[in-house]
């Protein structure tokens, strides 16, 4: 870790105090200290440290003389790269009881950096905390703290500090620092805070809606314990919405899953997007892509021709499962009002095999209609379950809020 910034501050403070206290210093102490100061300004740290030690060797030093010697020894030792000597001098200075609060914070910060040079992360953290307790709020100290904690493996401390920084920013009406959110998510993962990490990732996506973050999260979701394969199409929907569907095979698989689920209009739309993006329609698989498009066109026509009959049968059914299916099919065709009404009717009718799936469909339909985002987000966030439904609902809600 570089300490030049802190060295300059220490030297500046030293020279200011040296002038103020010069009358209290005997010549046998003051002369080598002045020579040390001149050498330090010339960038000669080792020579300056030698002169500071010469002053320290004088017997019968007063408290004021020792204070100046320790300041010079600490600054010279830092410049010379002698962290042990810097620590000894600055700790003596810190413990002298002669420093103001601001000076205590500055010296504690110097000590923290010196310990980091020795890779003594425990003591680095201790002195970071002392500097903060004395009032230091410097960005450099915060960076040192995060680095020291990561090197020490103290992820509980990282989580605590990062969470506090995120909370402070939010309470002040500011966007949390991206680095704090990333450190918090990493620390939570390492300490097994699964639910807390999910909430942090939501915030990361909400404040910094980068395609890369969506890619990471959506790549991890299907590996989550209990995630059901029946949500594969839903996962593709989110990947498409967030710009993370780019490969030919992905377009093909999503379209096929939509066709298999009975959503021919959606399948056809996915194929057309694949052709428009250039992912489909060329190369060795070009003919296969065209055959899939032909199949999607055929199935869409068949579904449209029979959907009125499907609706009648769904209305007559004892439970609401078919109404939810037919309703979402209307949504994929762009008939949002009719589709949403049928899904709501199906949910009210009851007897659903998977009620949470139905709420997910309703929330997504409301979101796609673009007419009531508030209700869409509320519905999506209300989805429960440990099989992936709740995760998908939450992520769609995050997506909705960042695309308002």
* Confidence label for 182 from pLDDT (cuts 50, 70 and 90): confident
pLDDT digits (tens, 9 = 90+) for 120-175: 887 887 888 888 888 888 888 888 887 887 787 778 888 888 899 899 999 999 99
Residue 4 has pLDDT above 50, yes or no: no
State the average pLDDT for the chain: 88
Strand positions, DSSP E, 67-164: none
For the segment 215-229, the average pLDDT, to the nearest whole number, is 90
CATH code for residues 4-138 = 1.25.40.10
Whether this prediction's pTM lies above 0.95 is answered by: no
Residue 395 has pLDDT above 90, yes or no: yes
For the segment 49-76, the average pLDDT, to the nearest whole number, is 90
Q: What is the pLDDT of residue 404?
A: 64
pLDDT digits (tens, 9 = 90+) for 285-335: 999 999 999 999 999 999 999 999 999 999 999 999 999 999 999 999 999
Q: What is the pLDDT of residue 170?
A: 94
For the chain, give every domain's residue range.
4-138, 155-208, 227-236+317-404, 245-301
CA nearest 296: which of 329, 335, 252?
252
CA nearest 392: which of 365, 357, 341, 366?
357
Burial of 341 (0-12, 13-18, 19+ CB in 10 A): middle
- Asked whether 401 and 384 are in contact (CB, 8 A), the reply is no
Which helix (H) or strand (E) segment holds residue 358: the answer is: helix 355-369
- Asked whether 282 and 246 are in contact (CB, 8 A), the reply is no
Q: Do 4-138 and 227-236+317-404 come out as alike in CATH topology? A: yes
Relative orientation angle of helices 83-94 and 101-117, to the nearest 10 degrees: 160
At the topology level, CATH places domain 227-236+317-404 in 1.25.40
């Amino acid at each position: 870790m570089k300490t030049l910034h802190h060295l300059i501050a220490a030297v500046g403070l030293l020279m200011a105090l040296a002038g103020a206290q010069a009358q209290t210093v005997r010549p046998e102490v003051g002369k080598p200290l002045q020579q040390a100061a001149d050498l330090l300004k010339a960038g000669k740290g080792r020579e300056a440290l030698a002169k500071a030690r010469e002053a320290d060797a004088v017997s019968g030093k007063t408290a004021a003389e020792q204070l100046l010697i320790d300041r010079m020894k600490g600054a010279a030792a830092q410049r010379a790269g002698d962290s042990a000597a810097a620590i000894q001098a600055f700790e003596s200075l810190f413990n002298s009881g002669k420093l103001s609060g601001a000076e205590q914070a500055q010296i504690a910060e110097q000590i923290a950096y010196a310990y980091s040079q020795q890779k003594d992360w425990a003591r680095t953290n201790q002195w970071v905390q002392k500097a903060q307790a004395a009032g230091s709020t410097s960005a450099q100290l915060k960076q040192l703290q995060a680095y020291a904690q990561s090197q020490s493996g103290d992820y509980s401390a990282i989580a605590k500090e990062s969470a506090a920084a995120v909370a402070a920013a939010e309470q002040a009406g500011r966007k949390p620092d991206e680095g704090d959110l990333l450190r918090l998510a990493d620390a939570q993962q390492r300490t097994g805070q699964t639910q807390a990490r999910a909430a942090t990732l939501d915030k990361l996506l909400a404040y910094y809606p980068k395609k890369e973050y969506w890619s990471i999260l959506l790549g991890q979701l299907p590996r989550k314990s209990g995630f059901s394969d029946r949500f594969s199409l839903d996962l593709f929907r989110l990947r498409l919405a967030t710009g993370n569907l780019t490969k030919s095979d992905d377009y093909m698989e999503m379209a096929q899953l939509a066709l298999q689920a009975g959503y021919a209009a959606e399948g056809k739309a996915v194929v057309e997007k694949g052709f428009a993006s250039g992912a489909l329609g060329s190369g060795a698989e070009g003919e296969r892509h065209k055959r899939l498009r032909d199949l999607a066109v055929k199935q869409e026509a068949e579904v449209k021709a029979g959907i009125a009959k499907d609706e009648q049968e769904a209305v007559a059914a004892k439970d609401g499962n078919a109404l939810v299916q037919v309703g979402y099919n209307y949504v994929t065709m762009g008939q949002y009002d009719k589709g949403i009404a049928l899904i709501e009717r199906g949910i009210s009718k009851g007897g659903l095999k998977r009620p949470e799936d139905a709420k997910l469909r309703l929330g997504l339909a409301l979101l796609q209609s673009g007419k009531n985002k508030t209700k869409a987000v509320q519905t999506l966030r209300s989805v429960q379950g440990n099989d992936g439904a709740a995760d998908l609902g939450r992520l769609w809600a995050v997506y909705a809020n960042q695309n308002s």
